[in-house]
Structure formats: C-alpha cells, structure tokens
Structure 1
Amino acid sequence: MLGRIRAGLKAAFLGTAVVNAACAQATRETLLRPDGLRRYLLARSGRPTSGKRPLVIVVHGAGASAEQVMGKAFPPSPLSVWLEIAEREDIVVIAPDAGAGGWNDCFASAQKVAKKDDVAFIASLIDKAVADYDVDASRVYLIGVSRGGLLTYRAAVEIPHKLAAFSTVLACMPPPHAAQMPTAALPALIMGCTADPLMPYRGGKFFHVLGFLDPVSSIEDSARIWRELAGLPDEPSVLEIPHRNQWDKTRVTRTMWGEAGSGLQVGLYKIENGGHAEPSSSKRYPYFVNKLTGRQNADFEVAEAAWEFFREKRAAAWRQPRS
C-alpha cells in the first residue's frame, strides 16, 4: 500500500520517465555563430558504423531547453525517446538550445532575425554534422514541438534544400499574411490536439494567451498547405490508432496523403481531447502539469511515429536546390 502511495505521489509531482532500451549518450557541444557561442546536445551510438548516418534535429519548445527535451531536466520529455532510437537505429541526434530570448521563429521580425538567426544556426549544425559527425546529407530530418515547431516551419520554408522531411508537434502554421509561405515541397508530418489550450487546433488565438502567441492557421490547414504544394490528391489513407488504456480519454486518428514511405507524403495525427502535451506511454508529464496544459495521449510514442515517417525518406528529385 505504501509503495502504491509513493508511486502515485511521484507520478503526480514528478511524472514518469520509463526507459525501454539502451540510450545513446549525449554530450554538450558549442558552435560559434555571428550572434555568439551557441549550445547544443549531440547524441550518437557508441558502436562503430560502416557508413553515413541519418541526422535528426530536435527543437525544444518555449521555456524549455536542449537538456529538457533530451530528458536531462524536468519535466520528462516524450521527445527524449530519440535517445533510444539513436542507439537502436544508429542515427545522430542534435538538440539545439534557444538560449536567451527563446527562438526567433516564423513570427519573428526581420530585426530580431538579423540579431539572432536560428534557422541559420540549424543550417550550420547540419553542415557541421555532415562534415564532422559522418552524417548523410540526404537524410537530414527536423522535428520541433510547440514554439520549436514554429521554428521548424520557418526552417522548412527557408532551407528545404537541407532537409529530407520535417515534423511539427503542437504547432500551427502562421496565416499566409503573417509570414513567408513555402515554395518547395517537403514530406511533412503534423501532430495536433483538439483541446490544446495554447495552439488552437481550429486556428486563431485564445484570449488567455494575451501577447505571448500570435494568431495561427488551423492544424488541418497547416497540413493542407504542404499537401497542396506537394500536389498530393485529397484521397488519404486513414488509420484509427489502437486505444491502450481505459483511463485515457483521448483518441488518435492518423491521416496520410501519399502512399510511398520513401516518397513525398504529408501526414496528420489528430489527437481528440488532447492538450498541449506530446503523446507518449513512457514519458508522462506530472499530474499538475496536465491540469494546466490538458490531457496527454498514451496510445503512441511521438518520437517513434516521427521516425517511422522519416526512416525511408531521402532528399530527392522533387527538391530543387537553392543558391
């Protein structure tokens, strides 16, 4: 009985972070940029490799850090499962740190970007990984959560020639009038929750976020922008994700446009009744966090779903390099 009480209190105040497999070791690294010394975490398998490896760049949300998103700081992050994937699949994972002032994402003014260009930082990390970490330049993937997802959208618009695919979690595209829209097609995987109190699934802006967030497009319009740019027909495959737990009041539907896993696809995970929390069965936010941000789905691992989407994709003929 006492053990159950302790476990319940721990889950309520600390959350849970179950590790299901060996993890790649992460080291703290720095990169000198025009705006100063930038920090990032680098994770890769310790075993020798015979060829070039894929690269996944994981972009944390507002108020978080590279350490938090990689499971090195509170609260437990579902995206830290990338450390398990890195060891199992022999991939390189980089988690950049926003530093002071947070990310200059797709809503940032030109003046702010001129002082600290975070997309240029990501581009430099890709170049360094290709040069120094045995990364395959045709297998570079980007995933961002919340405000990190807004930066991911900006990167997908500005440096599509450096990416094979991208994914955003709990993040909506900006409206067409508010930011530059994409002109080059990319495979895109978008995950959104219908009861998100910060990023409205149907677009717009909640009154309670005041000046902290700008109005956004809906999650489904965000997916539509990339689907139409890719020229994919509006005839998706739809999969209901199996439900695992009776106590979980959320449900998940995956919609996928494009049939070939190695080709140009656009995917949408719609989490009914989910809040501003990345889905995970192994990394569970504390009870008090979920009371503020809404329900956290436990039917799938967000990092595993993204890797399934990324795995076979290569930089391909649909992508026209820019100078």
Structure 2
Amino acid sequence: MGFLHGIKTVFLGSATVTAPCAPVTPLVLDRPEGPRHCLLGIPTAAAAGKRPLVIVLHGAGASAEQVLGMAFPPSPLSVWLEIAEREHVIVAAPDAGKGGWSECFAGAAQVAKKDDVAFIDAIISHAVAVHNADEERVYVIGVSRGGWMAYRIAMEIPQRLAAFSAVLAGMPPRSHPMQPRVPLSALIVGGTGDRLIPYHGGKHWYALGFMEPVNSIEDSARVWRELAGLPDTPDRTGIPRRHPLDKTCAAFTLWGRDPGQLQVGLIRIDGGGHAEPSISRRYPGLINKMVGAQNGDFEIAEIAWDFFRHKRAARPAAQDLQQA
C-alpha cells in the first residue's frame, strides 16, 4: 500500500478534502469576443445578506475546472470551495479561453481582441445582480499568469476591488507603462526557487522569447506599499514548519496593522518553486521536479482569505459624489 501510494503521489499528486465544498455551476456570458465561460461556487446555506465574492484566476495552460479541483493536477486554490461553503463566500473561476489571459504584459492588439478585464468586470456585475454579491467585498487571486491578470485587474478597475493577491507572479518592471495609480491592499507571494518566474526579477535564460522580464517579487510588493503610503516598518512572522525535512520555509511580512484598512503582505518561500503552497493539495512529484518544490506549511487560499476578509472597497468621498 505504501509503495502504491508513493507511485500515485509521484505521478498524480494528492488531494485531501476534509470539509464540505460549495457546489459548482457553470456560467456563460456573451462578450464581444464571443461566449465566455466561468464556474461559480455558490454556498448551499441561504444568504442572510450580501456575500463576499472571490475571483480565482488559473495559470497558463490550466482552466477553471483545474483551479477548482475538477481536473488534473490537484490545485491548491480549490480549497476556495471549502472556504466558500464554510464562510458563505461566492467563488468565481473564469476560463481564460483560447490564447490565455490578456494580462498585464499583453499588447493593445491582444486586449482589443479579448478584453479580459471587461470580462471579469461583467462577472462581478452578474454576481452582484443575480447572486447578491457584496460590491464592497470583491477580491481577486491569481496564480502565475493568472497572477499577472490579477495585477492588470487591480490596475485597471481598482474601484471594483477591496483587495487582490498575486501568487508566483512578479509584476511588470517599473519602466513598463503598466503600473498602478490607485492604492489597493495586496498580498504578493513568491518562491526563491521558482524555475519559471524568478523571485529576484528578470527572466531565466531558458525562457528565451516565451516571457517578458518581470519585477522582483519583493519590489512588486514595494510598489503597492509605497502607493498605499505605508511606512516601511512591517511586522514579520515565520510560518511554522510542519515537516522538519521539508527543504522550503516561509515567512510573512505585513505592512499596515489594521486589517480593515490598506495593507500589503509579502510571503517569501525560501526554496519554494512554481507551485502554490498547500497542506492538502499536493502536486505530483514529477511536476515539482520540473518547476521546483511545493511548500506544505500552509494553505495559500486560507491565508489569502484571512488577508481579504475584513477589507472593503473604498467608497467615493462625499465631494466626489456631489461632483458626479
């Protein structure tokens, strides 16, 4: 049994689900580029009021099904369905579709063909109108290229969000025209052993022409911290290690002490590769060999929810409402 379990872990990974998950239903929205697809996780309990909305963005080559745990390989972000059922949160997982996301590195021509920010904006409007989502509690989390998409959403429609998280994704360098102008709470996560998106910025030599140079993970967090006007006096805490033999370890740096106000968080995973941290959803060993080690000390979805849960979108000031 141990040998067979080891073989399965190497080739298939593992997913341990110990709590009820919100049921998933499909959504199709007509967009200028054609029908767009999304999966919605709606908690089974009747809503006592408006519910938070979390938009989960998959990485390159993946899908809405994969990121919600319905396709190979097991995704750590599928834990959001457990959170949805437990915390009465609506989860939306859109599909990038052909060509992937038109994210923060996409050119104007690509965006003109497929405006994914407008697609996400339409999902938010649908969730508010049909499922009683709370407009003041909309959050976005994306991994890898989905993290790049999360940056673009945060830069282009920050008024629609209360906070966002980019996992395993450095934002464009400061010399790039795509830069934020409006402060927003941000949780940035990266691993120093990431073999696809370098923690310290730039790009790996073997990426050739397949990807743009990125800002470092730490400077990506610094951009949002400076924009928020938060002093560089963070709280730093080590995340407890669960397995002494694990070659990775993580630490959480947080700027801003009031969870209901602007905060910027940075999770640095020393030795961590291009794999979202998770205790319960473990990537196959062969994938870890290719992209780097997966940390198993915490659930990225749970720590992101803790970061999101008390934050609300800023309301327009009274003078802005009078001028509108």
Give the TM-score range, shorter chain: over 0.9
Q: Which amino acid aligns with 1:314?
A: R
Q: Which amino acid aligns with 2:164?
A: F
Q: Does 1:186 align with 2:155?
A: no
How far is 1:27 from its partner?
1.1
How far is 1:32 from its partner?
0.5
Residue number in structure 1 paired with 2:287? 289
Q: Which amino acid aligns with 1:284?
A: R
1:249 to 247, 250, 259: 247
**Structure 1 residues not aligned, in runs of 5+:** none
Write the distance in 1 (CA, Å) between the matches of 2:210 and 2:125: 32
Give the secondary-structure state (helix, strand or coil) at the position aligned to 2:194.
coil
Q: Does 1:119 align with 2:114?
A: no
How far is 1:177 from its partner?
2.6
Write the distance in 1 (CA, Å) between the matches of 2:210 and 2:280: 30
Whether the aligned pair in 2 keeps the contact of 1:76 and 1:285 (CA below 8 Å) is yes
Q: Which amino acid aligns with 2:206?
A: H
Write the distance in 1 (CA, Å) between the matches of 2:233 and 2:47: 40
Residue number in structure 1 paired with 2:222? 224
Q: Which amino acid aligns with 1:13?
A: F
Q: Which amino acid aligns with 2:306?
A: E
Q: CA RMSD in A?
A: 1.3
Give the secondary-structure state (helix, strand or coil) at the position aligned to 2:297.
coil
Give the secondary-structure state (helix, strand or coil) at the position aligned to 1:63.
coil
Whether the aligned pair in 2 keeps the contact of 1:107 and 1:179 (CA below 8 Å) is no
How far is 1:318 from its partner?
8.2
Write the distance in 2 (CA, Å) between the matches of 1:62 and 1:149: 10
Residue number in structure 2 paired with 1:301? 299
Q: Which amino acid aligns with 1:311?
A: R
Where does 1:19-34 land on structure 2 (aligned, <5 Å)?
19-34=17-32
Q: Which amino acid aligns with 1:276?
A: H
Output one character per residue of 1:101-159: Cα deviation in whole Å (capped at 9) or x when no partner.
Answer: 11111111101100100111101110111111110000000000000000110110000
1:162 to 160, 163, 187: 160
Residue number in structure 2 paired with 1:240? 238
Residue number in structure 2 paired with 1:271? 269
Give the secondary-structure state (helix, strand or coil) at the position aligned to 2:250.
strand
Write the distance in 2 (CA, Å) between the matches of 1:204 and 1:81: 31
> TM-score, normalization: structure 1?
0.97
Give the secondary-structure state (helix, strand or coil) at the position aligned to 2:305.
helix
1:317–1:234 distance in 2 versus 1, CA, 3 Å: farther
Write the distance in 2 (CA, Å) between the matches of 1:248 and 1:117: 41
Compare 71-80 and 174-183 and name the one that shifted more.
Answer: 174-183
Residue number in structure 1 paired with 2:105? 107
Whether the aligned pair in 1 keeps the contact of 2:203 and 2:212 (CA below 8 Å) is yes
Output one character per residue of 1:65-101: Cα deviation in whole Å (capped at 9) or x when no partner.
Answer: 0000000000000000000000000010000000011
How far is 1:44 from its partner?
1.1
Q: Does 1:135 align with 2:133?
A: yes
Give aligned-pair identity as a percent: 59
Q: Does 1:262 align with 2:260?
A: yes
How far is 1:20 from its partner?
1.8
> TM-score, normalization: structure 2?
0.97
Write the distance in 2 (CA, Å) between the matches of 1:259 and 1:206: 36
Write the distance in 2 (CA, Å) between the matches of 1:63 and 1:282: 22
Write the distance in 2 (CA, Å) between the matches of 1:318 and 1:183: 16
Write the distance in 1 (CA, Å) between the matches of 2:177 and 2:54: 25
Q: Which amino acid aligns with 2:7?
A: L
Write the distance in 2 (CA, Å) between the matches of 1:20 and 1:200: 34
Compare 169-178 and 220-229 and name the one that shifted more.
Answer: 169-178
Whether the aligned pair in 2 keeps the contact of 1:61 and 1:145 (CA below 8 Å) is yes
Write the distance in 2 (CA, Å) between the matches of 1:14 and 1:154: 33
Residue number in structure 1 paired with 2:209? 211
**Structure 2 residues not aligned, in runs of 5+:** none
Whether the aligned pair in 2 keeps the contact of 1:106 and 1:179 (CA below 8 Å) is no
Q: How many residues of Structure 1 are paired with residues of Structure 2 in the alignment?
A: 320
Give the secondary-structure state (helix, strand or coil) at the position aligned to 2:274.
coil
How far is 1:317 from its partner?
4.8
Give the secondary-structure state (helix, strand or coil) at the position aligned to 1:29.
strand
Give the secondary-structure state (helix, strand or coil) at the position aligned to 1:161.
helix
Write the distance in 2 (CA, Å) between the matches of 1:283 and 1:247: 18
Write the distance in 2 (CA, Å) between the matches of 1:173 and 1:286: 28
How far is 1:209 from its partner?
1.1
Whether the aligned pair in 2 keeps the contact of 1:277 and 1:293 (CA below 8 Å) is yes
Write the distance in 1 (CA, Å) between the matches of 2:103 and 2:48: 37
Whether the aligned pair in 2 keeps the contact of 1:185 and 1:318 (CA below 8 Å) is no
1:247–1:318 distance in 2 versus 1, CA, 3 Å: farther
